[in-house]
DNA sequence: CATCTGATGCGACTGAGTCGCATTAAGTCA
DNA sequence: TGACTTAATGCGACTCAGTCGCATCAGATG
């Protein structure tokens, strides 16, 4: 489950400071790990990585920090179609909307982007009057590779 | 959390039979409850309703049946932006794609539909080569009403 | 540097969902 | 219709993600 890119590195720590958020050592560390990760991390993985740097950091701190970053719209929460259990994954929010495709067969996660998605977002606001804070599009199915190879059962969902 | 409509009633029991699925009393009952509900049910609510008819039905049967219906693409699973905990909600899959908007302030769930969403789905298939089994779009924010009334904190996610 | 207040660590707890296994009951066929 | 086969159910123990209350700690501020 590797992220497509970690190119731009918006300095989240600075943005936290700008918000007047108390900058604890733990928060700095967690934010750095999230930013530097090339994967979509879930809470447990984040905790595991954090413990390598400070073995005393606690699960609750990780959850509280993720909550904070979510509320500040600095990160987005993903389900990735619950391909592996009920956990959530996190990624730094970028300016341009993208979404995720999950292959039920091989488990691959692909990030994708198209102007139609941006258009859709604008349209939704206009049509419904919602002020959109979060928009999450997830697609589950069979990637090109897997579709080419066979016609067995998808792993979790789909035609039986 | 009331569903917009329960107008068309695709007879899921018949579709199960058509698939050669063993039609147990429990499955029939659960499918009926899901179909007849005007709400998005979560597993616990479904169990509660089912127990009114057959007090011996077990949690595990509910989860197994939901899994079955998901695999058969007869129902869709929703998060509804985790407005109330981590549970999932379910609805009968209809032919036309719609999606859900959740207001972080008042908790209202709105179903919405626009041709752009259908277009987006086709585009994704074409551009990525994915055979799409499930597509889930969820929007979180502030509904028109709540936005008009105040400018306090959203309930769970968003600007602090 | 002293103070104030919000954040952390901790461990117990909750709630959703899963699993293995003994028992039950659909579907089938004579 | 009744016997048979096999899948589904009920059950309870279990797992795993996430939460909570509270005592302690440490940023920020003057």
Top-confidence residue, B51 or B8: B51
- Sheet containing A89-92, strands listed edge to edge, beginning at the edge strand earlier in sequence: A41-42, A89-92, A75-78
Write the CATH number for B127: 3.30.1490.190
CB B154 within 8 A of CB B105: yes
Residue B8 has pLDDT above 70, yes or no: no
CA distance A17 to A15: 5
Q: Give the model confidence (pLDDT) of B116-150 as tens digits.
A: 999 999 999 999 999 999 999 999 999 999 988 76
User: Are B102 and B39 within one domain?
Assistant: no
CB A83 within 8 A of CB A108: no
User: Are B74 and B125 within one domain?
Assistant: no
Q: Do A157 and B110 touch (CB under 8 A)?
A: no
Tokens for B122, please give them.
């086709």
User: Are A58 and A73 within one domain?
Assistant: yes
B86 CB-to-strand D distance under 7 Å:
yes
Q: What SS3 class is residue B117?
A: helix
Which domain range does residue A121 map to? Answer: 97-160
Q: What is the pLDDT along chain A (160 residues), one digit of tens a residue?
A: 444 444 445 588 888 988 889 999 999 999 999 999 988 999 999 999 999 999 999 999 999 999 999 999 999 999 999 998 899 999 999 988 999 999 999 999 999 999 999 999 999 999 999 999 999 999 999 999 998 876 544 444 433 3
Of A6, A55, A130, A76, residue with least CA distance to B102 = A130
CA distance A14 to A34: 14
User: Are A63 and A5 within one domain?
Assistant: yes
User: Are B29 and B78 within one domain?
Assistant: yes
- Residue for token digits 């994967």? A39
pLDDT given for residue A18 in this prediction: 86
Q: Do A136 and B133 touch (CB under 8 A)?
A: no
User: Are A25 and A102 within one domain?
Assistant: no
Interface of A with B (CB under 8 A): 19, 70-73, 79, 81, 86, 101, 103-104, 110, 112, 114, 116-117, 119-120, 123-124, 127-144, 147, 154, 156-160
User: Are B73 and B124 within one domain?
Assistant: no
Chain A positions touching B157 (Cβ under 8 A) are 70-71, 73, 133-134
Helix B25-36 and helix B43-53, axial crossing angle in degrees, nearest 10 = 120
User: Are B105 and B31 within one domain?
Assistant: no
CB B24 within 8 A of CB B13: no
User: Are A23 and A46 within one domain?
Assistant: yes
> What is the CA angle B67-B73-B74, rounded to 5?
85
**A63: nearest nucleotide, CA–C1' criterion:** D18
CB B27 within 8 A of CB B12: no
Which of A55, A73, A95 terminates a domain? The answer is A95
CA distance A91 to A160: 32
User: Are B75 and B112 within one domain?
Assistant: no
Count of structural domains within chain B: 2
B115: closest chain A residue by CA: A120
User: Are A79 and A47 within one domain?
Assistant: yes
Write the CATH number for A74: 1.10.10.10
User: Are A60 and A104 within one domain?
Assistant: no
A139: closest chain B residue by CA: B135
pLDDT given for residue B150 in this prediction: 63
pLDDT given for residue A100 in this prediction: 98
Residue B160 has pLDDT above 90, yes or no: no
A23 CB-to-strand D distance under 7 Å:
yes
CA distance B148 to B130: 41
Q: Which helix (H) or strand (E) holds A136?
A: strand A131-142
Cα dist from A28 to A12, A24, A66, whole Å: 9, 6, 12
Which of A72, A95, A118 terminates a domain? The answer is A95
Which of B72, B95, B118 terminates a domain? The answer is B95
pLDDT band at residue B154 under the 50/70/90 scheme: very low
């Amino acid at each position: 489950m590797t992220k497509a890119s970690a190119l731009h590195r918006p300095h989240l720590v600075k943005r936290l400071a700008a918000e007047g958020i108390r900058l604890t050592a733990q928060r700095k560390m967690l934010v750095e790990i999230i930013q530097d990760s090339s994967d979509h991390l879930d809470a447990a993985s984040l905790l595991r990585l954090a413990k390598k740097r400070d073995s005393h950091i606690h699960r609750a701190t990780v959850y509280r920090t993720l909550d904070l970053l979510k509320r500040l719209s600095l990160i987005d929460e993903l389900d990735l179609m619950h391909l592996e259990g009920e956990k959530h994954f996190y990624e730094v929010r970028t300016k341009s909307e993208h979404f995720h495709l999950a292959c039920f067969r091989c488990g691959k996660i692909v990030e994708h982007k198209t102007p139609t998605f941006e258009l859709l977002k604008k349209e939704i606001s206009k049509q419904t009057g919602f002020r959109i804070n979060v928009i999450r599009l997830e697609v589950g199915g069979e990637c090109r590779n897997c579709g080419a190879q066979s016609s067995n059962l998808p792993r979790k969902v789909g035609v039986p």
